[in-house]
Amino acid sequence: MFKGLMTSVSGVRGVVGVGMTPEVALLWSGGFGSWVKGEKVIVGRDSRPTGRMLNYAVKAGLAAAGCDVEDVGVVPTPTVALAVKRRGAAGGIIITASHNSQEWNALKFVNSSGRMLSMPEFLQLEEIVQEGPLRSVGWNNIGTMRKWDSAGIMHIAAITGIGLLDLRKLHGKKMRVALDCVNSAGSQVYPDLLEALGCEVVGINVDGSGLFPHPPEPLPENLKQLGETVVKEKCVVGFAVDPDGDRLAIVDEKGNPIGEELTLALAVKMVVANNSGSVVVNSLTSQVIDDIAGEANCEVHRTRVGEANVCSRMNEIGAVIGGEGSGGVIFPEVHLVRDAGVGMALVLNLLASRKKKVSEVVRDLPAYKILKTSVPVGSEDPKELVDRITRLYPHDQISKIDGLKVVYDDGWVQVRPSNTEPILRVFSESHNEKRAQDLINEMLNRITEASVSEEC
């Protein structure tokens, strides 16, 4: 039905003009307007040039369903999510393709609690879009449209109001911080946030143009310019965010990326040292979280991969912090959404309280190596193949929270079907790279064995 469009609990996305078109945006926003029964919806977007065009289509679809629309403009994804919660809206639509390259755009959907849609909620929306009926109101009930320009200020106030932050100490430190917002939505909020936290900001790629100066995903290989800026400008830390500002990567004072897994680790270290309680992460997040939480006598819960799964579990058990190893920090005192701004505040407070450099804090953490690869499955059903692989392992070694995870005393290996491609994704972690690679190789052998056994 939607050729070239990727649909999942993360929203709907595609290359603009191919999978993502004004017609698609109009249909899905109209479906969302029907799902919220014509109530108020918050709309925001990242800085991609195509976002302006899609914004018109989204607002038209919502208004046609009778929804009053508040447009918060170009702001990070967590800003929109918080606005939904604080403004009493029935939901929100964020026009952003997150870390995808320039030609992509997408729609993300937020429920009335300010969280990304759960899988059951997304399936309800998808059914409305595919099967109908779409809500369509008469001329005298068309929804109104207005702009609200204070969402960024609201977001900054929420973060600076976090109870465990020592604002007096942060302002006294006057930390010099480099910031790379890849010229996208973070440019509109995060420089001001860092200044509100007492920092001297050295911004690069913060013009908000939506024209990415380098690949937009905040992976180590894309942080060279930030690292050079940290060293040249004598900054204590460098922060990089993805185009919609929910993922955070960190560069230490020597200009070295510490890896996105450790973004969450530093935030967790800050929180559990002050707030006793449970931590929730997904099944692929590094074991270093368990080590940090264990030192504070805090329990770690693991979920399937996906922000919605982590947030749902956090809400169920009242977790004090959670997130994903891709640089996604979720702190419920603010909201149950990945928030790079929250991550920055917690990490800066950690540095101020420990009186240590980033490299020194990282050096004190247990060291792990995570490896990943993928295996094409051809015409085989990936889930059935995982089931056959599972039968090759002793029951007491495995977890089936998300695909198959096999746990050893010195590491783990996990295989799970991709949500978007006919492949199996394989991950491993251990204290040294050789053992992590051995675990990968072992799983690859089991995949081959399971495939051969089915052929026989």
Q: Each residue of 361-388: pLDDT tens digit?
A: 999 999 999 999 999 988 888 889 999 9
The whole-number average pLDDT for the span 41-45 is 98
* Residue ranges making up the domain that contains 331: 154-363
Question: Which pLDDT belongs to residue 394?
Answer: 81
Q: DSSP alpha helices (H): ranges in 186-287?
A: 190-196, 224-232, 260-272
Look at 67-71, 75-79, 418-422 and tell me which has the smallest mean pLDDT. Answer: 418-422
Q: Is residue 312 domain-shared with residue 346, that is, in the same domain? A: yes
Let me know whether 263 and 388 are in one domain: no
Q: Identify the band that residue 8 occupies on the pLDDT scale cut at 50, 70 and 90.
A: confident
Domain final residue, candidates 86, 117, 149: 149
The mean per-residue pLDDT over the stretch 410-424 comes to 87
CATH number at residue 442: 3.30.310.50
* Domain tally, the chain: 3
Q: Is there a contact between 176 and 198 (Cβ–Cβ < 8 Å)?
A: no
Whether residue 158 is found in the same domain as residue 300: yes
Scanning 259-306, the segments in alpha helix (DSSP H) are: 260-272, 288-295
Tell whether 188 and 274 lie within a shared domain. yes
Contact 392, 420 (CB under 8 A): no
Q: Residue 360: is its pLDDT beyond 60?
A: yes
For residue 390, the 8-state DSSP code is: H
In a domain, 67, yes or no: yes
Q: Are residues 189 and 337 in the same domain?
A: yes
Residue 16 and residue 113 in one domain: yes
Whether 387 and 332 map to the same domain: the answer is no
- 254-258, 307-311, 396-400: the lowest-pLDDT one: 396-400
Asked if 354 and 378 sit in the same domain, the reply is no
- Which residues are catalytic, by number? 98
Q: Based on the number of CB atoms within 10 Å of its own CB, is 254 exposed (0-12), middle (13-18) or buried (19 or more)?
A: exposed
For residues 227-255, give the mean pLDDT. 98
Does 224 share its domain with 188?
yes
8 A C-beta contact, residue 197 and residue 345: yes
User: pLDDT digit string (tens) for 205-230?
Assistant: 999 999 999 999 999 999 999 999 99
Assess if residue 417 is contained within a domain.
yes
Looking at the structure, do residues 144 and 268 belong to the same domain, yes or no? no
Q: What is the mean pLDDT of residues 1-29?
A: 91
Does the pLDDT at position 48 exceed 70?
A: yes
Domain edge (last residue) among 363, 389, 418: 363
1 is a domain residue = no
Decide if pLDDT at 453 tops 80: no
Q: Which of 128, 154, 142 is nearest to 59 (CA)?
A: 142
Q: Which residues contact 391 (CB under 8 A, 6 or more apart)?
A: none
Domain co-membership, 221 together with 318:
yes
Predicted pLDDT at 397: 82
CATH code for the domain of 132: 3.40.120.10
C-alpha distances (whole Å) from 144 to each of 24, 25, 81 are: 22, 18, 20
* 226-247 core/surface letters (b: 16 or more CB in 10 A; e: else): bbebbeeeebbbbbbbbbbbbb
Kindly tell me the burial class for residue 96, based on how many C-beta atoms sit within 10 Å of its own C-beta (0-12, 13-18, 19 or more): buried
Local structure of 135: helix, strand or coil: coil
204 & 248 share domain: yes
